[in-house]
Structure 1
Amino acid sequence: MSKPGELRALTSARGIAAWWVVLYHVRGALAGLPAIVEAVLAKGYLAVDFFFLLSGFVLALSHGERLRAGGLAAVPDFLRRRVARIWPLHAAMLGFALALVLILHASGRATPEFPLRALPAHLLLVQAWGFADPLCWNDPAWSISCEVAAYLLFPIWIAGIDWRRAAPPVVLGTIVVLLSTLAAAFALRGAATLGHDIAHLGVVRCLVEFAVGTLLHSLWQRRPSPRAGVVSFGWATLFATAWGMGLVETIAVPAMLAGLLLGLACTAGIRGNPLERPLLHRLGEISYATYLSHFLLWFAFKLALVRTATIGWPMAAMYLTLVFAASVALHRWVERPAQRWINTPGFRPWRSHLLTRRSPRG
């Protein structure tokens, strides 16, 4: 069942993007991939850019008005809800990683992928802020660390300018400036693709694309029509073509994905939209669990079952089934209960702990 105000097509698109990341990480082990499929999967890291844009759009949709109306008083509840959304599952996956470390140590194997000195920064989700190597422990969590920075700045961005009142040319011009700034930042670091130099550019990449997502939401609010969707898809196609003809990825892809996102939003809810179907929507609902679990599951899967450089399709199907099943289980038994608990009015875990200790029944 859809949540109030949810655009089902965007939820489904998030699920597809999550599985693009999964296949990106395992593509090197899949035997016999056609060249064109390999080329598509090799660009799976770009799904993260779609996530950043989508996150800005969805938070503007779900929390923008509430933050504008509530001011500073609404910020703690917003941040609590974001913590409830991202941190419990992240902590659970770090717990799984620690279990892997103990198993490897017991067997006398080194664990360079899990440096203990970096664990506190990863636990606090600040690893991408320059406090630790963001690509260790659970590698995909680097983007969640970047999103935390965006969450902290989002109330200021929303309160600073009401983009709904700005003229469309001003909004579009601001998008152009932001995306140009992003491309310039990558050029200064000598990075030709968006997946390079995550340690230095990951937060910048997130903040810019997140901000663009909020601006796309302000455009969508004005005219969420199929005709506007066609224009947006045309924008996306234009930049996709330019990318194929040699336009640098750091310029072409964010603009292409922005057009795609706005087009999907404008055509959401249209009868017959394939992204409205229940199965795809379900993939979107469990996509966060898919994204955060697949990398460590692949590590454990290889550790337990893989003895060669590549695997056949039966083994690949086994792994992908494992990821899907784990996503369903984690969403049902970790994500949702934790969100309900933390989002309960008056939630005070420390107070509950003290009351438990003082209880005569304890």
Structure 2
Amino acid sequence: MGRLFALNAATLALLLPLEFLKYFSSAGNTPAFADTNTIGAWFENLFFVQTWFLGHGPSWNTVAWSISAEWAAYILYPALFYILVRCPAIVLVGAAVAGLAWLESTSPSGTLRLTDHGAVLRCLCSFVLGMLTEHASHSPPVRRAVPWLGSGIVIFLAALAALAVIAFGEADWMAVPLFCAVVFGLSVAGPVPTAVMSWRPVHRLGVWSFALYMTHFIVLRTYKVVAFWVFGLWPSPPALVIVSLCGTFALCIAVAWAANRWIERPGYRAMRQLAERIRRSGPPSDPKPVTTPA
């Protein structure tokens, strides 16, 4: 959380004046400070509680909804640890699948969408499935049964299929087994996938991944506001669309690099230093007794 809190605070600090710009310029296709982008939701986002049970849900920096759900899962996980380590794997798989099925049945859209309600429970169910998949990857019988799953082609196709389901599918639950296949494949990856993941550009993108994830929404939203402000509509000629998308992608990478260097890493160091000071301070010592005359 040390890395993410600084990034989150910085993105929210930038989104607030952008919302005021939208308010005073009437740019954009939705009213400013409307729907979930309220001041109360801004503070919920600041402390990563927007997707908790009393929160407004995804708002402001929309992509941070998953960080909020993961934080709740990390807090709840120690309370569930005693149960998780004593349950048979088949029971945990059944409970996780049942939880996802229940979320889909109660979803307002009728499907298990990424930004629907129940993000915390969804995260817990997915977390359990991911842990079981990673644990199974260390089992020699399982590794012998599916040796082909660690090939680069299978990992690439599984990841591509999962993204396609999310982008074009009717329900995101169909992507869950595909994500499990990706986790398993990376755990038993052969020399080719290992070499690709160790390639310096891929490694650098991994280092910048938090910054890229937390800032790309601002870049895209700024582009959206500016496009409506300047042109009054989205760029429509295909050539202009391609050029603008390439430029926006390059800008996302540049902003992620800058955010990692000047926000994420300094923020992480500051949080570590604060935690170390708190750890060293310890509980206050008892005051010495004061002697009084009899």
- TM-score, normalisation: structure 1: 0.61
Classify 1:255/1:313 alpha carbon distance in 2 versus 1 (closer, same or farther; 3 Å).
Answer: same
**Aligned position for 1:42:** none
**Aligned position for 1:88:** 6
Q: Deviations over 1:245-284 (max 9, x none)?
A: xx97454321121122111111166676423321112112
Tell me the distance in 2 between the aligned counterparts of 1:268 and 1:102.
51
Is 1:210 equivalent to 2:127 in the alignment? yes
Paired AA for residue 19 in structure 2: V
Tell me the distance in 2 between the aligned counterparts of 1:229 and 1:140.
35
**Aligned position for 1:189:** 107
**Aligned position for 2:285:** none
Classify 1:139/1:251 alpha carbon distance in 2 versus 1 (closer, same or farther; 3 Å).
Answer: closer
Tell me the distance in 2 between the aligned counterparts of 1:290 and 1:317.
16
**Aligned position for 1:320:** 249
**Aligned position for 1:72:** none
Contact 1:128–1:203 (CA under 8 A) maintained in structure 2: yes
**Aligned position for 2:32:** 111
Classify 1:105/1:248 alpha carbon distance in 2 versus 1 (closer, same or farther; 3 Å).
Answer: closer
Give matches, 1:1-362, under 5 Å: 83-107=1-25, 110-112=31-33, 114-162=37-85, 170-172=88-90, 174-189=92-107, 191-195=109-113, 198=116, 200-223=117-140, 228=146, 230-231=148-149, 249-267=171-189, 273-305=195-227, 307=231, 308-310=233-235, 311-344=240-273, 346-348=276-278
**Aligned position for 2:288:** none
The answer to which of 177-186 and 119-128 deviates more is 177-186
Q: Secondary structure at the match of 2:51?
A: helix
Tell me the distance in 2 between the aligned counterparts of 1:292 and 1:271.
26
Q: Deviations over 1:290-340 (max 9, x none)?
A: 111111211112222452324521111111111000001111111111112
**Aligned position for 2:289:** none
Tell me the distance in 2 between the aligned counterparts of 1:105 and 1:157.
45
Shift of 1:229: 5.2
Tell me the distance in 1 between the aligned counterparts of 2:149 and 2:94.
17
Tell me the distance in 2 between the aligned counterparts of 1:325 and 1:206.
30
Tell me the distance in 2 between the aligned counterparts of 1:276 and 1:225.
22
Tell me the distance in 1 between the aligned counterparts of 2:209 and 2:76.
24
Classify 1:180/1:230 alpha carbon distance in 2 versus 1 (closer, same or farther; 3 Å).
Answer: farther
Contact 1:229–1:264 (CA under 8 A) maintained in structure 2: no
Shift of 1:91: 0.8
- TM-score, normalisation: structure 2: 0.73
Tell me the distance in 2 between the aligned counterparts of 1:313 and 1:201.
36
Paired AA for residue 43 in structure 2: P
Contact 2:20–2:32 (CA under 8 A) maintained in structure 1: no
Contact 2:2–2:271 (CA under 8 A) maintained in structure 1: yes
**Aligned position for 2:292:** none
Shift of 1:126: 0.9
Tell me the distance in 2 between the aligned counterparts of 1:260 and 1:326.
28
Paired AA for residue 129 in structure 1: W
Q: Which entry has the higher C-alpha Rg, 1 or 2? A: 2
Paired AA for residue 347 in structure 1: R
Contact 1:290–1:324 (CA under 8 A) maintained in structure 2: yes
Q: Deviations over 1:48-95 (max 9, x none)?
A: xxxxxxxxxxxxxxxxxxxxxxxxxxxxxxxxxxx2132111111000
**Aligned position for 2:291:** none
Classify 1:226/1:260 alpha carbon distance in 2 versus 1 (closer, same or farther; 3 Å).
Answer: farther
Shift of 1:208: 0.7
Paired AA for residue 198 in structure 2: E
Q: Secondary structure at the match of 2:62?
A: coil
Q: Deviations over 1:199-233 (max 9, x none)?
A: x2222211110122222232234449586553578
Shift of 1:151: 1.1
Classify 1:229/1:134 alpha carbon distance in 2 versus 1 (closer, same or farther; 3 Å).
Answer: farther
Contact 1:192–1:250 (CA under 8 A) maintained in structure 2: no
Q: Secondary structure at the match of 1:343?
A: helix
Q: Secondary structure at the match of 2:89?
A: helix
- By relative contact order (CA 8 Å, sep 6+), the higher-ranking structure is 1
Aligned residues with identical type, % of pairs: 23
Tell me the distance in 2 between the aligned counterparts of 1:326 and 1:342.
22
Tell me the distance in 1 between the aligned counterparts of 2:193 and 2:103.
41
Q: Which sections of structure 1, spanning at least 5 residues, go unmatched?
A: 1-82, 352-362
Q: How many residues align?
A: 257
